[in-house]
C-alpha cells in the first residue's frame, strides 16, 4: 500500500530564511507527486507537481521541489520565506493510471517569525 511521510509536524523559520519540507513516499511504482498548501480554514492550493522529466520542478510562489527516485523523496524548498508562507503544507502521491486517488502525508505546519 502506498504511504506518504512528512517527518516534520511543525517547522518555525525566520522571514527571509530558507525553508525545506521533507516528504518521503512508499509506492509500487513511480507515482505522480504533488505539494499542496492550505491556509487556515481554506481548501488546498496546488504548489507544484511532478509527472516526469526534469526532477527539479518549479512551482508557484517561489517554491521548488526535487524528485529523488533513489531516496523516494520529493522535498519542497523555498530560498527565502515570506510571512505569507505561514500555512500547512501537504505532500501527496497518486497513481499514474486513471483514478486520481491521492494519498496525503500528515502535513507540516510552517510558522514564520518576523
Contacts with another protein by CB under 8 A lie at: 32, 34, 36, 41-46, 49, 51, 90, 94-96, 100-102, 104-107, 109
Residue 85's φ and ψ, nearest 5 degrees, are -80, -5
- Give the whole-angstrom CA distance, residue 50 versus residue 71: 15
- By beta-carbon proximity to another protein, the closer residue of 8 and 104 is 104
CA 92 to chain centre: 7
To another protein, the closest distance from the beta carbon of 48 in angstroms equals 10
- By beta-carbon proximity to another protein, the closer residue of 15 and 104 is 104
To another protein, the closest distance from the beta carbon of 33 in angstroms equals 9
- Give the whole-angstrom CA distance, residue 108 versus residue 10: 5
Amino acid at each position: 500500500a502506498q504511504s506518504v511521510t512528512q517527518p516534520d509536524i511543525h517547522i518555525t523559520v525566520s522571514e527571509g530564511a530558507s525553508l525545506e519540507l521533507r516528504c518521503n513516499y512508499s509506492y509500487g511504482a513511480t507515482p505522480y507527486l504533488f505539494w499542496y498548501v492550505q491556509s487556515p480554514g481554506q481548501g488546498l492550493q496546488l504548489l507544484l507537481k511532478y509527472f516526469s522529466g526534469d526532477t527539479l520542478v518549479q512551482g508557484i510562489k517561489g517554491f521548488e521541489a526535487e524528485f529523488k527516485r533513489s531516496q523516494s523523496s520529493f522535498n519542497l524548498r523555498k530560498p527565502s520565506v515570506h510571512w505569507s508562507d505561514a500555512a500547512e503544507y501537504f505532500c501527496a502521491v497518486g497513481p499514474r493510471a486513471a483514478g486520481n486517488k491521492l494519498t496525503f502525508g500528515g502535513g507540516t505546519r510552517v510558522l514564520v517569525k518576523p
